[in-house]
Structure 1
């Protein structure tokens, strides 16, 4: 199943506000935030701000693209 990514602004307390709520089968599984220019080379990458269920855990990776984040989320949920 393809994740449904919905744009959202996230109050992170920094300039990293552009975000996506990630739903799979109408369940919220993750919140992604795009890194701002303050992150230098990582600017524009997507950070797993929070994961739920099978996407949760201590590891909070960063992805070069939304497509890479979707792939990782699907893999974690066994949806590939």
Structure 2
């Protein structure tokens, strides 16, 4: 089950809204709300994947979500891919 936990994050010298993304209680990703002046105005208010762990690591990609809840299916799909590969390989 994917759940979220609100947490403030210090980015660019100011606090912003953050969300820890948990899969069955394990940390899989950290999201930050793009609300600073340095961000593209088209993405203001969207959520950026600041850090992903394991299959949710997307360090070389720009991953954003319009709402933090949209990250849930993305995380689940990444994890399901791993689990289905493990089952296929025994």
TM-score calculated relative to the size of structure 2: 0.75
Runs of 4+ in 1 over 4 A off after TM superposition: none
Q: Where does structure 1 lack aligned partners over 5 or more consecutive residues? A: none
After TM superposition, give the deviation of residue 13 of structure 1 in Å. Answer: 2.2
Structure of greater Rg: 2
Q: 1:37 to 1:11 in 2, by over 3 A?
A: closer
Which digits, 9 at most, give the CA deviation of each residue in 1:36-77, with x for residues without a partner? 052312111000000001101322401111222111111111
Match in the other structure for 2:85: none
- Number of residues paired by the alignment? 78
TM-score calculated relative to the size of structure 1: 0.83
After TM superposition, give the deviation of residue 12 of structure 1 in Å. Answer: 1.7
Match in the other structure for 1:77: 79
Which structure shows the higher helix fraction?
2
Q: 1:16 to 1:72 in 2, by over 3 A?
A: farther
Q: Where does structure 2 lack aligned partners over 5 or more consecutive residues? A: 82-90
Question: Are the aligned partners of 1:16 and 1:33 in contact in 2 as well (CA < 8 Å)?
Answer: no
Cα root mean square deviation, aligned: 1.8
Match in the other structure for 2:7: 8
